[in-house]
Amino acid sequence: MSKLTLTFDNGPLPGATEGILDVLKERRLPATFFVVGKNLTDPQARRLIERARDEGHRVGNHTMNHGKPLGEYDDAQESVNEIADAEALIGELADPDRLFRPQGRGKTGPHLLSRAALRHLIDNRYTMVTWNNVPGDWLEPQTAWFDKALETLATQDWSVIVLHDHCQVKMMNLLDAFLDHVEKTGIEVRKDFPASCLPIVRGELMVDSSEIATGA
């Protein structure tokens, strides 16, 4: 049986995230929300992630500002702050595994982390989560992600899909249709992640560091 892990990035965003939560609640499906730290300074947005946690979803760190990939920072400490500042705002909402997803522009590689950020993740026992199904729901026409997601699902035993809170607000019908397909084809929706998408697990490096980090 094929597997699917649902992940939603760049939230929480009032007017968008609650719709996703409603769909997931109705279908009793789990997901992971990788949040941008600065969004949590809005009390309404924070309440959405409190709801996500309370409804059984996992909450992860997706940097403070969602700027360029951390491996492209000239200031090593600034790249570390992107992780630490977001984690401070997430606080008690954080998953016990301290999940972190880097900004990668949809691609994996050494641009994901600076060496300083890598050391920070290891020293603080984070689990780093990547992806293997990025259908591009932010690209025009934004409906094209649906077919791309299904095509990739069909080629993998276990997909970790990246969708975005703000992209789903006008396309809840597509999210429903996507999940209808998942149900009808017997794909198992999971809360955990395949080992291939976990280059760091609770502070233990599972790949050669050169695959995910560069620079200082």
Of 9, 95, 137, 165, the active-site residue reads 9
d(CA 123, CA 158): 29
The contacts of residue 99 (CB under 8 Å, 6+ apart) are 32, 34, 58, 59, 60, 61, 126, 127, 128, 129
Of 62, 111, 120, 164, the active-site residue reads 164
Q: Say whether 180 is catalytic.
A: no
Q: Say whether 9 is catalytic.
A: yes
3-state class (DSSP) for residue 197: helix
CB 166 within 8 A of CB 13: yes
**What tokens does 10 get?**
């760049």
Name the phi and psi angles at 172, rounded to 5. Answer: -60, -30
Apex CA 157: angle with CA 151 and CA 162, to 5°?
A: 60
Residues annotated catalytic, as ranges: 9, 164
